[in-house]
Structure 1
Amino acid sequence: MCRAKPNVLLEFYQYLLSFGALGGISASLLYNPSVSAVGHWFYRKCALATGVACAAGGIGGVVFPLIVLYVAPRLGFGWALRIVGFPRFATTAFAAFLIEFAVFIPYTYLCSYAVRAGLDRQTAYLLHALLNVGAVPGRALPGYIADRFGSFNTMSVTAFACVVTILAHWYTASSTNAAQVISSALLFSFWSGAAISLIPVCIGRVCKTEDYGKRSGTAFSLASFGASAGIPIAGAIIEVNHGSYHGLIVFAGVLYLAALAAFIVARRFLPELFLQAPEPLAV
């Protein structure tokens, strides 16, 4: 029996339509308004602003080909494109995973760090209460700010503040500066509080209202693995470093830095969130 030859012309025709015509039109519709919008807001520094905006395209040029390169041989080309096509929820869930991975490390180890740094045990154990003192306004105020400036924007700012608090403030604390250790606890508890109150809001912004329950459950199910792994991994880092906490602090700071990057990437796929939250509709 002779087999019919595959219709090579038809296959090429499909690629030409999808990646050539449709892909070119879609890319133009995305690129031209984005670059033009920069020119509306900048005059004296327009060239620099446009260059910075266009540089972000290089990030996608690195990430998306790598996804296709490594995913396509395992899951197929179709699933590789689907993964590229729905990064909004996936990136938000990954950001929540990183936040949950990092947030409990300072809560767990800051007191023992204070004892090792030279604080008396009563003051060191008092840090548990101080960590929750800062969390009270830290969970309430970001919600008010997020309603005005966007939940992803607020989460990005608080994640950046946690990076600075951990790597610049906590890392440089020493046994001769008890005030810096205590202030590190207060600052971290305040800035990390947004993770509790705003992550559910961020998840709600990347899904339909009727899908919120299952999307929220999925995201926090994934985040629970990070919360479970963060504390023992941090303990192992202390053991490997012979009791030194510097490696743990860097580990927590890098996790928050990665979470910041994930929130920025997720925000990149939701351009409307840069705008101020709309006024509620009149009933």
Structure 2
Amino acid sequence: MGSGVLASCLLRKRLPSNKKAGASIDLKALADVKFASTTAAVFLIEFAVFIPYSYISAYAMHYGFNSQKAYLLNTLLNVGAVPGRALPGYVADRFGTFNTMCITSFVCAALILTLWLKAAGEEARTTSFTVLYGFWSGAAISLTPVCISQVCMIEDIGKRTGTAFFIASFGALTGIPIAGAILEASDDSYGGLIVFAGILYISAFATFVLARGIAGGWCWAKLF
């Protein structure tokens, strides 16, 4: 907190105030195809990312884990997310932010639809999925604002980031209850919930690929 107070005292505006730019949500910015496609990708990944975080413990108890082991999975998930949120920034500097998001979203989809779907409550597979997903899902938190900033002018970063996450918040807020409704409709079988999360991640991957192509071109050797 002390460092935050010191930083606040030392901060100075880099650019003069621009009343025309404003700081409000700007839905008209969606007319920009680069921004709109990136926002759609962020929406889908925020829709998907929190489903395993919310249901992994209940899934484990459903398959006979004791409560201590089941709740330990949430700890492991978040432990995996610590390097998973820090390291993608370094990787993105070398290989490109959108390229990194494409890779991490694809890996998350693969982990959900193979390791988690096939685990059937088996302890080693479930634990492995938890740690690996925690790591690979971290980029959905740390890199999505960077993707947004990459497709807008520097003076619009605040406004467009706010707009994108305003839209993405609806995905984050509804993904968990929709997954719960699927679980309830499936008589507490987790297969439907897992497939739903996997499909969302595949959709996010495809949309990130599209957004990357629109904003940065289709040459994958290019750092973008």
Scaled to the shorter chain, the TM-score interval is 0.7 to 0.9
Residue 147 of structure 2 aligns with which residue?
202
Distance 2:131 2:95 in 1: 24
Aligned to 1:140: 86
Name the structure 1 match of 2:7: none
- What secondary structure is seen at the aligned counterpart in 1 of 2:118? coil
Q: What does 1:213-228 align with in structure 2 at a 5 Å threshold? A: 213-228=158-173
Which residue matches 1:257? 202
Which residue number corresponds to residue 34 of structure 1? none
State the partner residue of 2:133. 188
Shift of 1:275: 2.1
Q: Which structure 1 residue ranges, 4+ long, deviate > 3 Å from structure 2? A: none
Aligned-partner Cα distance in 2 for 1:266–1:95: 7
Q: Counterpart of 1:126?
A: 72
In the comparison of the two structures, how many residue pairs are matched?
194
Contact 1:203–1:216 (CA under 8 A) maintained in structure 2: yes
Name the structure where helix makes up a greater proportion of residues: 1
Q: Is the 8 A contact 2:99 2:223 kept in 1?
A: no
User: Residue 23 of structure 2 corresponds to which residue in structure 1?
Assistant: none
Q: Normalising by structure 2, what TM-score?
A: 0.83
Q: Which has the higher contact order (CA 8 A, sep 6+)?
A: 2
Corresponding residue for residue 60 of structure 1: none
Q: How does 1:1-283 map to 2 (within 5 A)?
A: 86-175=32-121, 177-269=122-214, 270-271=216-217, 274-276=221-223
CA distance in 1, matches of 2:92, 2:223: 9
Q: Deviations over 1:155-180 (max 9, x none)?
A: 000000000110000000023x2011
Aligned to 1:244, what secondary structure does the other structure show?
coil
Retained in 2: the 8 A contact 1:150–1:273?
A: no
CA contact (8 A) 1:98 1:226 kept: yes
The change in CA–CA distance for 1:88 and 1:213 in structure 2 (over 3 A counts) is same
Structure 2: gaps spanning 5 or more residues: 1-28
Q: How much is the aligned-residue C-alpha RMSD, in angstroms?
A: 1.6
* Equivalent pair of 2:79/2:134 in contact (CA under 8 Å): yes
Q: Which has the larger radius of gyration?
A: 1
Distance 1:128 1:190 in 2: 13
Q: Give TM-score, length-normalised by structure 1.
A: 0.66
Q: By how many angstroms is 1:274 displaced? A: 4.5
Equivalents in 1 of 2:48, 2:187: separation in Å?
21
